[in-house]
Amino acid sequence: MLKKPIKTIVWDWNGTLLNDVDLSIHSMNELLGERNLPLLSKQYYKQIFRFPVKDYYSDIGFDFDNEPFELVGTAFMDAYKLHIPNMSLFDDSLETVQQLHQKGYSQHVLSAMEQHLLFEMTQKSDLHRYMTSINGIDNHLGGGKIDLGKTFVQKLNHAPDECLLVGDTTHDAEVAATCGFQCILYSGGHYSHERLQKTGLPIIQKLSELVNLL
């Protein structure tokens, strides 16, 4: 499954370690309901969510000629933040990270979440103790993390293909391809299994599967 031995594991955060899919849908449906736009089902959400999120917002009915994307994006994050106390990790996130730490892997978070909020959330989850670095972007607008990945790869002290990116979207696959990382996708997050299959990359249904794969 893997082309060569791995030294570093790079984790996506939302929908990979953090189980925030339902709360993300709920937060978006609050905005849609206020604008009398059709609400999202979980099945439809997993078929349509994408990066940059501005395109996803357009797909579900927001009209940026009448309402600036920056206002909508900020409103979503305000609603999302209200639900943070109710969020939790996936059941096997912490145990998997702990086991990989014991095996000696360097682990990092690479996320399209704003840096300060990302650091705050990883601290509350207790995962930060096992991470060598926590890497987020400088805004709340979900433009993606390809540039962040390019910056991260420059800090590696080994070949990029000895780094494994674990994420739940095709954007994670794009980041991995751009940076030269190997990639495994997790089907429990924001994308449907069928969408992930189109990448041709290995897919896991539980994070704990990684322990035996590495």
Each domain of the chain, given as residue ranges in start order, spans 8-19+88-213, 21-86
- Residue 108: name the closest of 53, 50, 181, 177 by CA: 181
- Please state, in angstroms and rounded to a whole number, the distance separating the CA atoms of residues 104 and 130: 10
Q: How far is CA 3 from CA 48, 107, 196, 201, in A?
A: 31, 19, 19, 12
Question: How open is the CA angle 52-48-153, to the nearest 5 degrees?
Answer: 40
pTM: 0.95
- What is the SS3 assignment for 29? helix
State mean pLDDT over 63-74. Answer: 94
CATH number of 8-19+88-213: 3.40.50.1000
Number of Cβ within 10 Å of residue 98's Cβ equals: 15
pLDDT at 140: 60
For residue 134, pLDDT beyond 80 = yes
pLDDT confidence of 143, banded at 50, 70, 90? low
pLDDT at 2: 85
pLDDT confidence of 149, banded at 50, 70, 90? very high
The dihedrals phi and psi of 24, each to the nearest 5 degrees, come to -65, -40
pLDDT confidence of 86, banded at 50, 70, 90? confident
* Residue-wise pLDDT tens digits, 156-210: 999 999 999 999 999 999 999 999 999 999 999 999 999 999 999 999 999 999 9
Asked if 152 and 135 touch (Cβ cutoff 8 Å), the reply is: yes
Report the Cα 76 to chain-centroid distance in Å. 17
pLDDT at 139: 61
Number of Cβ within 10 Å of residue 65's Cβ equals: 5
